[in-house]
Amino acid sequence: MKNRFIMCFILFLFLISLGIIPLEHANIQKEQVIIQQYSTYLMQNGNYLNYTVVSGVEDKILYSNVSQIVINYNKTTYLLKPLGLVYYNDSIINVTIIGEKLKIYSGIPQLIKAILYTPGLQEVIWAGYLSKPAFISAYAYVNGTGTLELQYLNGSSTYSLNVSIGTNLKLSVPLIGLNYTMLTFNSYRQITISTELPIPYRSFENISDFYISMSSFFNNTLLPSMVWKSSNITAVEFFGIDGTIAGFLEVNGPRLLILKNLNAEYYTPKYVITTTINNMTIILGIGNNSVESTDNIAFSYFVDVSKQIGLLFSIENTSSVFLAFNNGSVYDIQISYPKNISVSNITIQNTVFLAEKIIVSLNSSISLIPITPKYNYTFFILKELPNGSILFVNETDFFMRNNTLYIVASRPSETYYIVYSNHPLLTTTQTNQALIPYGASNLVLIAGIVVILLAIASIVAIRKRRL
């Protein structure tokens, strides 16, 4: 009976330990380290070819903040003898990408290397020797689009086949066949690398996941970027030429910190907006005269709408325009095309100016009006309210882009004037009543200056005639 009790007690402790172990492992930090590097050498050796591949490939899961990892480099030498010409007819080539891995099927044998070309990057993602049709896979970073160069041995030379990612094609290729006679394999060397995160990544020592974004805009430049994630922090890292770090954006709660380079100080934008556009969440870090974003911004412009500064911007490859305010609200701005444009005269402080009158029906409370000015003169913009009064439009509420004038319009104004300020008309007689702006001291000042300059010009002209 006593032995039976002891056995039951041991079994009880064992069952408890089974329940405890998963709890302990649940708190163990897990990180993935992926490294791949290839070098190849091809030499003629009498009637044979010596093809050597040196590869260092590692894909490990690290636990409990391992500080270093050992990479084993292996050297494989293939002894190959060229034979006669072989026709590989209707051979299938298929290239797909799943996450960060490229899957390549080559229906043509003698594949020795796969080179990835993507904007800002050229990388050998696989090297070896396929003696027959087969699948291979490799980790790859594709910056939006990419082309794969597949290199095949063609006797003592190579034959290259360029295919786009996502390609599924069938083709026929003649190659000089090779007799695969011998293989040697040995460990080449070992390299120990540190897995400790450098500054400014120390806050990510408990990283649970990271992934590579396709591309992001930084300082109005499209750059490759990597998104880092931990349990409570997300950051975006931007890469420049040759993999140099161009910037580092950290999101910690509602704040966004921007680092221009690793030796610079962090600074905080005036305000940060997180919004969802086309079912994608993007971050806008808005400063005095710039905007940083985790998405591809085609253009941006600061406007003043109803005495509130907003950022007008568009996302690349979309036709939509958005307006974001510092309170976090984002509006989809409608395009309102003019219903009628006519050449008109307008009188300001007894001076008649050439103008274009634009009548528009606004599609929403805030719209964008595209206009091509008729004359290549300096101009300013007026808007007419329903009660007949005319106001000066702030310079931040219109801008030129690709020879097109864009006016940020808000209701109730639906009539606008492009007034050509350096082209006043000399006559002051009109049948229409003069339109005098009110509530626009800047416009009155401009008009006054114009009148004074005209008066001075007249006096100078009279004196010259007398002389």
| Measured distance CA(341)–CA(238) in Å, rounded | 46
SS3 128: coil
Please report, to the nearest 10 degrees, the dihedral formed by the alpha carbons of residues 259, 260, 263, 265 taken in order. Answer: -50
Q: Does residue 287 fall inside a structural domain?
A: yes
Per-residue model confidence as pLDDT tens digits over 254-290: 555 666 555 444 556 677 777 888 777 777 877 766 6
Q: Once rounded to an integer, what is the mean pLDDT over residues 422-441?
A: 43
Model confidence, pTM: 0.47
Instruction: State which residues form the domain around 139.
Output: 30-194
Question: Is 222 domain-assigned?
Answer: yes
Same domain? 225 vs 260: yes
Can you give the pLDDT at residue 78?
92
For range 180-198, the mean pLDDT: 77
pLDDT at 25 over 60: no
Answer yes or no: do 163 and 211 share one domain: no
- Same-domain pairing of 217 and 325: yes
Q: What DSSP letter does each residue of 143-166 carry, written as one string? A: -SS-EEEEEEEETTEEEEEEEETT
Tell how strand 330-335 and strand 366-371 pair up: parallel
18 domain residue, yes or no:
no
Domain count, the chain: 3
Whether residues 158 and 176 share a domain: the answer is yes
φ/ψ bin of 278: left (φ > 0), alpha (ψ from -120 to 50), beta (otherwise): left
Q: Tell whether 223 and 168 lie within a shared domain.
A: no
189 and 71 together in one domain? yes
Helix (H) or strand (E) holding 12: helix 2-26
Nearest partner of 77 among 36, 131, 41, 126, judged by Cα: 41
Q: Are residues 373 and 356 in the same domain?
A: yes
Phi-psi label, residue 449: left if phi above 0, alpha if psi -120 to 50, beta otherwise? alpha
Lowest mean pLDDT among 64-73, 236-245, 252-261, 287-296: 252-261
Reading the block at residue 274, the tokens are 């997180």
Tokens 């996302």 -> residue: 315
Asked if residue 5 belongs to a domain, the reply is no
Looking at the fold, whether 266 and 394 belong to one and the same domain comes out as: no
**DSSP-based three-state secondary structure for 216:** strand
pLDDT digits (tens, 9 = 90+) for 161-173: 999 988 899 999 9
C-alpha count within 13 angstroms, C-beta hemisphere, residue 413:
25
- Domain match, 117 and 182 both: yes
Q: Do residue 284 and residue 382 come from a single domain?
A: no
**At which of 313, 335, 357 does a domain end?**
335
Q: Say if residue 113 is in the same domain as residue 185.
A: yes
pLDDT digits (tens, 9 = 90+) for 202-211: 666 555 455 5
Residues 153 and 42 in one domain: yes
Residue 3 belongs to some domain of the structure: no
Whether 347 is covered by a domain: the verdict is yes
Candidates 173, 179, 116, 123; CA nearest to 149 is 116
Burial (CB count <10 Å: 0-12, 13-18, 19+), residue 230 = middle
Higher pLDDT, 26 or 103: 103
Of 171, 194, 217, which residue constitutes the final position of a domain?
194
Instruction: Tell me which of 312, 335, 358 is where a domain ends.
Output: 335
Residue in 35, 33, 34 with CA at minimum distance from that of residue 65: 33
Q: Which residues are CB-contacts of 457 (< 8 A; sequence separation ≥ 6)?
A: none
SS3 337: coil
Whether residue 23 is contained in a domain is answered as no
pLDDT in tens, 356-369: 999 988 877 788 89
DSSP-derived 3-state class of residue 304 = strand
